[in-house]
Amino acid sequence: MTTIAVIGATGFAGGAIASEALARGYDVIAAARDTASIDPADHQTVRDGDVYDAEFVDGLARDADVLVVAVPHHAENRDLIDAVPGLTDAVRRHRRRLGVVGGAGSLRVSPDGPILMETPQFPESAKPEARAAYAVLDALTRTTEDVNWFSVSPSAVFGRLSDVPRRGTYRLGGDDLLSEPDGSSSISAPDFAQAFVDEIASPTHYRERFTVGY
Protein backbone atom coordinates (compact mmCIF):
# COMPACT_ATOMS: atom_id res chain seq x y z
CA MET A 1 0.00 0.00 0.00
CA THR A 2 1.35 3.40 -1.00
CA THR A 3 1.81 5.90 1.81
CA ILE A 4 1.50 9.59 1.00
CA ALA A 5 2.83 12.25 3.38
CA VAL A 6 1.16 15.63 2.91
CA ILE A 7 2.95 18.63 4.39
CA GLY A 8 0.30 21.31 4.73
CA ALA A 9 -2.59 18.91 5.29
CA THR A 10 -4.58 21.59 7.13
CA GLY A 11 -4.48 23.93 4.14
CA PHE A 12 -6.73 24.43 1.14
CA ALA A 13 -4.85 22.29 -1.39
CA GLY A 14 -3.18 19.97 1.09
CA GLY A 15 -6.43 19.13 2.83
CA ALA A 16 -8.09 18.31 -0.50
CA ILE A 17 -5.17 16.10 -1.56
CA ALA A 18 -5.18 14.23 1.76
CA SER A 19 -8.95 13.69 1.52
CA GLU A 20 -8.70 12.44 -2.07
CA ALA A 21 -5.90 10.05 -1.16
CA LEU A 22 -7.84 8.67 1.80
CA ALA A 23 -10.95 8.22 -0.33
CA ARG A 24 -8.91 6.01 -2.65
CA GLY A 25 -7.59 3.87 0.18
CA TYR A 26 -4.07 5.24 0.45
CA ASP A 27 -2.34 5.51 3.81
CA VAL A 28 -1.81 9.20 4.60
CA ILE A 29 0.54 10.97 6.97
CA ALA A 30 -1.12 14.36 7.51
CA ALA A 31 1.59 16.82 8.50
CA ALA A 32 1.34 20.46 9.56
CA ARG A 33 2.69 22.78 12.20
CA ASP A 34 -0.56 22.25 14.13
CA THR A 35 -2.69 19.23 13.28
CA ALA A 36 -5.34 19.79 15.98
CA SER A 37 -7.96 20.65 13.36
CA ILE A 38 -7.54 17.38 11.45
CA ASP A 39 -10.37 14.94 12.08
CA PRO A 40 -9.44 11.32 12.86
CA ALA A 41 -9.71 8.97 9.90
CA ASP A 42 -8.89 5.39 9.04
CA HIS A 43 -5.53 4.99 7.31
CA GLN A 44 -4.42 8.44 8.48
CA THR A 45 -1.82 9.42 11.03
CA VAL A 46 -0.85 12.97 11.98
CA ARG A 47 2.48 14.58 12.67
CA ASP A 48 3.20 18.08 13.88
CA GLY A 49 6.22 19.64 12.25
CA ASP A 50 7.59 22.26 9.90
CA VAL A 51 8.68 21.97 6.27
CA TYR A 52 11.79 23.98 7.16
CA ASP A 53 12.87 21.31 9.69
CA ALA A 54 15.12 19.02 7.65
CA GLU A 55 15.04 16.29 10.30
CA PHE A 56 11.23 16.29 10.32
CA VAL A 57 11.12 16.18 6.53
CA ASP A 58 13.60 13.32 6.45
CA GLY A 59 11.41 11.31 8.82
CA LEU A 60 8.40 11.80 6.55
CA ALA A 61 10.38 10.74 3.49
CA ARG A 62 11.61 7.67 5.33
CA ASP A 63 8.08 6.56 6.20
CA ALA A 64 6.20 7.53 3.02
CA ASP A 65 6.48 6.63 -0.65
CA VAL A 66 5.49 10.10 -1.87
CA LEU A 67 6.17 13.40 -0.14
CA VAL A 68 3.64 16.12 -1.02
CA VAL A 69 4.35 19.78 -0.25
CA ALA A 70 1.24 21.96 -0.14
CA VAL A 71 2.25 25.01 1.85
CA PRO A 72 2.48 28.74 1.05
CA HIS A 73 5.61 29.60 -0.89
CA HIS A 74 5.85 32.99 0.80
CA ALA A 75 4.74 33.43 4.41
CA GLU A 76 5.97 35.00 7.62
CA ASN A 77 8.97 36.56 5.88
CA ARG A 78 10.27 33.18 4.78
CA ASP A 79 10.12 31.61 1.35
CA LEU A 80 9.70 27.91 0.61
CA ILE A 81 12.89 28.01 -1.45
CA ASP A 82 14.73 27.74 1.89
CA ALA A 83 13.21 24.29 2.42
CA VAL A 84 14.07 22.90 -1.01
CA PRO A 85 17.54 21.54 -0.07
CA GLY A 86 16.09 19.58 2.84
CA LEU A 87 13.21 18.27 0.74
CA THR A 88 15.35 17.20 -2.19
CA ASP A 89 18.03 15.65 0.03
CA ALA A 90 15.37 13.61 1.81
CA VAL A 91 13.68 12.24 -1.30
CA ARG A 92 17.07 11.49 -2.86
CA ARG A 93 18.32 9.70 0.25
CA HIS A 94 15.21 7.55 0.64
CA ARG A 95 14.49 7.22 -3.11
CA ARG A 96 11.04 8.75 -2.83
CA ARG A 97 8.93 10.94 -5.07
CA LEU A 98 8.32 14.62 -4.36
CA GLY A 99 5.11 16.35 -5.43
CA VAL A 100 4.78 20.12 -5.03
CA VAL A 101 1.67 22.28 -5.26
CA GLY A 102 2.91 25.18 -7.37
CA GLY A 103 1.41 28.46 -8.47
CA ALA A 104 -0.30 29.78 -11.59
CA GLY A 105 1.77 32.96 -11.81
CA SER A 106 4.61 31.36 -13.77
CA LEU A 107 2.32 29.90 -16.46
CA ARG A 108 2.37 31.59 -19.86
CA VAL A 109 -0.92 33.21 -20.83
CA SER A 110 -0.36 31.96 -24.41
CA PRO A 111 2.35 29.93 -26.15
CA ASP A 112 4.19 33.09 -27.21
CA GLY A 113 2.91 35.38 -24.46
CA PRO A 114 4.19 36.56 -21.09
CA ILE A 115 3.80 34.64 -17.87
CA LEU A 116 0.68 35.43 -15.88
CA MET A 117 2.37 37.37 -13.07
CA GLU A 118 3.89 39.78 -15.62
CA THR A 119 0.53 40.83 -17.04
CA PRO A 120 -1.15 44.10 -15.95
CA GLN A 121 -4.14 42.21 -14.55
CA PHE A 122 -2.09 40.23 -12.04
CA PRO A 123 -2.60 41.67 -8.51
CA GLU A 124 0.44 43.27 -6.90
CA SER A 125 -0.53 41.66 -3.60
CA ALA A 126 -0.15 38.19 -5.15
CA LYS A 127 3.29 38.77 -6.67
CA PRO A 128 5.42 37.81 -3.62
CA GLU A 129 3.77 34.39 -3.49
CA ALA A 130 4.00 33.99 -7.28
CA ARG A 131 7.67 34.91 -7.36
CA ALA A 132 8.43 32.57 -4.48
CA ALA A 133 6.61 29.71 -6.22
CA TYR A 134 8.56 30.36 -9.41
CA ALA A 135 11.82 30.27 -7.45
CA VAL A 136 10.93 26.83 -6.08
CA LEU A 137 10.09 25.54 -9.56
CA ASP A 138 13.37 26.91 -10.91
CA ALA A 139 15.31 25.27 -8.06
CA LEU A 140 13.67 21.92 -8.72
CA THR A 141 14.59 22.03 -12.40
CA ARG A 142 18.21 22.54 -11.38
CA THR A 143 18.38 19.44 -9.18
CA THR A 144 20.24 16.32 -10.24
CA GLU A 145 18.49 13.54 -12.16
CA ASP A 146 18.20 11.35 -9.06
CA VAL A 147 15.62 13.73 -7.54
CA ASN A 148 12.22 12.44 -8.69
CA TRP A 149 9.84 15.40 -8.51
CA PHE A 150 6.76 16.85 -10.14
CA SER A 151 4.98 20.16 -9.63
CA VAL A 152 1.33 20.94 -10.33
CA SER A 153 0.17 24.49 -11.05
CA PRO A 154 -3.53 25.28 -10.66
CA SER A 155 -5.44 27.56 -13.00
CA ALA A 156 -5.69 31.30 -12.38
CA VAL A 157 -8.73 31.10 -10.09
CA PHE A 158 -7.96 28.70 -7.27
CA GLY A 159 -8.08 29.14 -3.53
CA ARG A 160 -10.15 29.22 -0.40
CA LEU A 161 -11.94 32.41 -1.46
CA SER A 162 -12.54 31.43 -5.08
CA ASP A 163 -15.70 29.33 -4.50
CA VAL A 164 -15.16 27.19 -7.60
CA PRO A 165 -17.57 24.20 -7.56
CA ARG A 166 -16.45 20.66 -8.19
CA ARG A 167 -17.17 19.31 -11.68
CA GLY A 168 -15.63 15.85 -11.39
CA THR A 169 -13.43 16.45 -14.41
CA TYR A 170 -10.30 18.34 -15.41
CA ARG A 171 -7.84 19.01 -18.23
CA LEU A 172 -4.06 18.85 -18.10
CA GLY A 173 -1.65 21.27 -19.71
CA GLY A 174 2.05 22.06 -19.74
CA ASP A 175 3.46 25.53 -19.14
CA ASP A 176 0.54 27.45 -20.66
CA LEU A 177 -2.46 28.62 -18.65
CA LEU A 178 -5.60 26.61 -19.41
CA SER A 179 -8.70 28.66 -20.24
CA GLU A 180 -12.28 27.85 -21.20
CA PRO A 181 -14.00 29.28 -24.30
CA ASP A 182 -15.32 32.22 -22.28
CA GLY A 183 -11.78 33.10 -21.22
CA SER A 184 -12.14 31.97 -17.60
CA SER A 185 -9.38 29.92 -15.99
CA SER A 186 -10.24 28.01 -12.83
CA ILE A 187 -10.10 24.71 -10.97
CA SER A 188 -11.76 23.57 -7.74
CA ALA A 189 -9.82 22.04 -4.87
CA PRO A 190 -11.41 18.57 -5.24
CA ASP A 191 -10.73 18.42 -8.98
CA PHE A 192 -7.18 19.71 -8.49
CA ALA A 193 -6.67 17.03 -5.85
CA GLN A 194 -8.06 14.37 -8.17
CA ALA A 195 -5.49 15.31 -10.82
CA PHE A 196 -2.71 15.42 -8.24
CA VAL A 197 -3.49 11.97 -6.85
CA ASP A 198 -3.99 10.60 -10.37
CA GLU A 199 -0.38 11.59 -11.04
CA ILE A 200 0.71 9.72 -7.91
CA ALA A 201 -1.31 6.66 -8.89
CA SER A 202 -0.15 6.61 -12.52
CA PRO A 203 2.97 8.76 -12.97
CA THR A 204 3.30 10.45 -16.35
CA HIS A 205 5.38 13.50 -15.40
CA TYR A 206 9.02 13.07 -14.37
CA ARG A 207 10.94 16.12 -13.19
CA GLU A 208 8.51 18.56 -14.74
CA ARG A 209 5.65 20.95 -14.02
CA PHE A 210 2.16 20.61 -15.45
CA THR A 211 -1.06 22.49 -14.93
CA VAL A 212 -4.66 21.54 -14.19
CA GLY A 213 -7.81 23.38 -15.24
CA TYR A 214 -11.21 23.08 -16.88
**Helix and strand numbers, DSSP H then E, in the chain:** 5, 10
Judged on CB neighbours under 10 Å (0-12, 13-18, 19+), 183 is exposed
pLDDT tens profile 148-180: 999 999 999 999 999 999 999 999 999 999 999
- Give SS3 for 121: coil
- Give SS3 for 60: helix
Q: What is the pLDDT of residue 75?
A: 87
Mode of pairing for the β-strands spanning 148-153 and 171-173: unpaired
Closest CA to 5 of 31, 26, 42, 35: 31
Mean pLDDT of 130-139: 98
C-alpha angle 83-88-66 in degrees, rounded to nearest 5: 105
pLDDT tens profile 2-53: 999 999 999 999 999 999 999 999 999 999 999 999 998 999 999 999 999 9
Structural domain total, the chain: 1
Instruction: Tell whether the model's pLDDT for residue 186 goes beyond 90.
Output: yes
Q: Is the pTM of this model over 0.85?
A: yes
Instruction: Tell whether the model's pLDDT for residue 77 goes beyond 90.
Output: no
Q: What percentage of residues in the chain have a pLDDT greater than 90? A: 96
* Enclosing domain of residue 60: 3-213
What values do phi and psi take at 176, rounded to 5?
A: -105, 140
- The 10 Å Cβ neighbour count of residue 18 is 30
Query: What single string gives the DSSP state of each residue in 86-99?
Result: HHHHHHHHHT-EEE
Single-letter amino acid code for the residue at 192:
F
Mean pLDDT of 68-85: 95
Contacts for 193 with CB less than 8 Å, ≥ 6 apart: 13, 16, 17, 19, 20
Predicted confidence band of residue 56 (pLDDT cuts 50, 70, 90): very high
Q: What is the CATH number of the domain that holds 52?
A: 3.40.50.720
